[in-house]
Amino acid sequence: MRMYDIIMKKRNGGELTREEIRYFVEGYTKGEIPDYQVSALMMAIYFRKMTEAETYELTMAMAHSGDMLDLSGIRGVKVDKHSTGGVGDKTSLVLAPIAAACGISVAKMSGRGLGHTGGTIDKLESFPGFTTALTRERFIDNVNRIGIAIMGQTADLAPADKKLYALRDVTATVDNMSLIASSIMSKKLAAGADAIVLDVKTGSGAFMKEEKDARALAEEMVKIGKSAGRTTVAVISDMDQPLGRAVGNALEVKEAIDTLNGRGPEDLMELCLTLGSRMLLAGGKAETEEQAVEKLRDAVESGAALKKLAQFVEAQGGDSRAVYHTELLPQAKILLPVPAPQDGYVSHIACDEVGICSLILGGGRETKESEIDLSVGLVLHKKVGDYAKAGETLAVIHANDRAKAEQAAQRFLSACTFAESAPKRTPFIKAVLSQTGGA
């Protein structure tokens, strides 16, 4: 088998076989096939697309390119949740404790953020002492004891995906539905969960700006999960403005704690109930969506979910006192209110621009080596549809540098659009796609 023939076959619109896909994935992972040939193949795939069968085979080849995490030592159905990312997305910090309090085993691998804010691991490190550097034995033991464990993604998990993504990133071949879906799902399948719940974002702050593209990606990933024998559900949710009101690592942790105390933003709670109900159904802890939602609400109202967060933080070396005393979380020295320049309804907030505000303040990474300031970010006082009078606070910037605070304030102001009448409300949850996989 020759790489040249595989490139030419795809260039001419042919369908690659399982053997051909495994040949190039294995060869590239081992360093036996050069970048320039795989670049040519990625471009051929970009223009000629992949069939459903090819996409599945590519996903499985990448999933099996390194370790396949064995979670058989964990009792019960293991349910994983994945988000395609957005601004202010602290969902896992709320959802994992609520689901665990309802009896779901949440064994999750997460990464660090590269972009406007940190990833789930960065946010959790707002708790002093918290670590995700767990051995696999401790990871499994923590899930069995308290229902949750989150560890950092190992270099041996889907290494082909890391190499292919880095190559696609510099060859203008990222934006292909099959390549995106296989990249996400290869890591989820390698991580060993029995069921996968996907939160696919759409809007100005999401990777998929258009709802039709988000739906297409969701459908593609659900099909892959079905073919792999995993129960897979995809929820399409709005990311045309930040999720909740807090953007920034410790600020998002505080908002997650507020939500577990029953005082969280409406949109964040709606998302957690939608995703959580699917987790409970997939894990056999509820028979109907209504029953699942009732159990999730009970876990919050009884305090069981908040207690579960404290247990989880403590089990991974963190100071659980911060769960009950959020003033122990990192705090910025400068609080700068951003006043409304006029009377009117907030008709639009450019979500990606809000993310850049956080990045300016130091809340995200421009490179993998960047140091994150966990205390900085912004808290929105007005969201789309809210009325503001001139001079009223739209948001508060949390910063440790006055010049950066003022720069972020101006950037935030330019991201807001005002109108004389309230904008038309659109559903926050756009769709739920499911397809149950057989064992």
CATH number for position 368: 3.90.1170.30
Domain containing residue 407: 331-419
How many domains does one find in the chain?
A: 3
Question: Is the domain of 189 the same as that of 46?
Answer: no
Report the pLDDT value the prediction gives residue 119, as an integer from 0 to 100. 81
Question: Is the domain of 34 the same as that of 96?
Answer: no
Q: The CATH number of the domain where 244 resides is what? A: 3.40.1030.10
Report the pLDDT value the prediction gives residue 69, as an integer from 0 to 100. 87
Specify the pairing of strand 195-202 against strand 79-83: parallel
Mean pLDDT for 80-85 is 89
Per-residue pLDDT tens over the stretch 385-424? 999 999 999 999 999 999 999 999 999 999 999 999 999 9
Q: Is residue 73 part of a domain?
A: no
Question: Is the domain of 350 the same as that of 407?
Answer: yes
The secondary structure of 122-161 as a DSSP string is HHHTTSTT------HHHHHHHHHHHSEEEEEPPTTBSHHH
Q: Is residue 151 part of a domain?
A: yes
Question: Is the domain of 339 the same as that of 394?
Answer: yes
Question: Is the domain of 142 the same as that of 190?
Answer: yes
Q: Is residue 27 part of a domain?
A: yes
Report the pLDDT value the prediction gives residue 315, as an integer from 0 to 100. 96
Question: Is the domain of 211 the same as that of 230?
Answer: yes
Give 439's pLDDT tier (boundaries 50, 70, 90).
very low
Mean pLDDT across the chain, nearest whole number? 93
Contact 387, 370 (CB under 8 A): no
Q: Is residue 72 part of a domain?
A: no
Provide the 10 A C-beta neighbour count for residue 47: 11
Mean pLDDT for 289-308 is 97
Question: Is the domain of 132 the same as that of 109?
Answer: yes
Q: How far apart are the first and last CA of the chain?
A: 33
Report the pLDDT value the prediction gives residue 437, as an integer from 0 to 100. 43
Q: The CATH number of the domain where 38 resides is what? A: 1.20.970.10
Give the ranges where 263-379 is alpha helix by DSSP (H). Answer: 266-282, 289-301, 304-315, 321-324, 351-361
What's the CA angle centered on 266, arms 261 and 270, to 5 degrees?
Answer: 95
Nearest to 235, CA basis, from 290, 274, 282: 274
- The Cβ-side half-sphere exposure at 149, using a 13 Å CA radius, reads 27
Question: Is the domain of 336 the same as that of 300?
Answer: no
Question: Is the domain of 183 the same as that of 319?
Answer: yes
Mean pLDDT for 85-114 is 89
Provide the 10 A C-beta neighbour count for residue 181: 25
Nearest to 96, CA basis, from 317, 318, 308: 308
Distance CA 238, CA 205 (A): 9
Mean pLDDT for 152-164 is 84
Does the pLDDT of residue 367 top 80, yes or no? Answer: no
Q: Is residue 252 part of a domain?
A: yes
Distance CA 246, CA 358 (A): 10
Of 34, 63, 92, which residue is a domain's last?
63
Question: Is the domain of 231 the same as that of 340?
Answer: no
Q: Is residue 165 part of a domain?
A: no
Residue positions annotated with a catalytic role: 82, 161, 168, 183, 187
Q: Is residue 187 part of a domain?
A: yes
Distance CA 379, CA 97 (A): 23
Report the pLDDT value the prediction gives residue 272, as an integer from 0 to 100. 97
Give 117's pLDDT tier (boundaries 50, 70, 90).
low
Mean pLDDT for 145-161 is 87
Report the pLDDT value the prediction gives residue 438, as an integer from 0 to 100. 41
Per-residue pLDDT tens over the stretch 264-280? 999 999 999 999 999 99
Question: Is the domain of 149 the same as that of 249?
Answer: yes
Per-residue pLDDT tens over the stretch 196-252? 999 999 998 888 899 999 999 999 999 999 999 999 999 999 999 999 999 999 999
Question: Is the domain of 191 the same as that of 340?
Answer: no
Contact 22, 57 (CB under 8 A): yes
Specify the pTM: 0.91
Does the pLDDT of residue 71 top 60, yes or no? Answer: yes
Q: Which residues contact 156 (CB under 8 A, 6 or more apart)?
A: 66, 67
Report the pLDDT value the prediction gives residue 369, as an integer from 0 to 100. 67
Does the pLDDT of residue 192 top 80, yes or no? Answer: yes
Does the pLDDT of residue 7 top 50, yes or no? Answer: yes
Give 377's pLDDT tier (boundaries 50, 70, 90).
very high
Q: Is residue 301 part of a domain?
A: yes
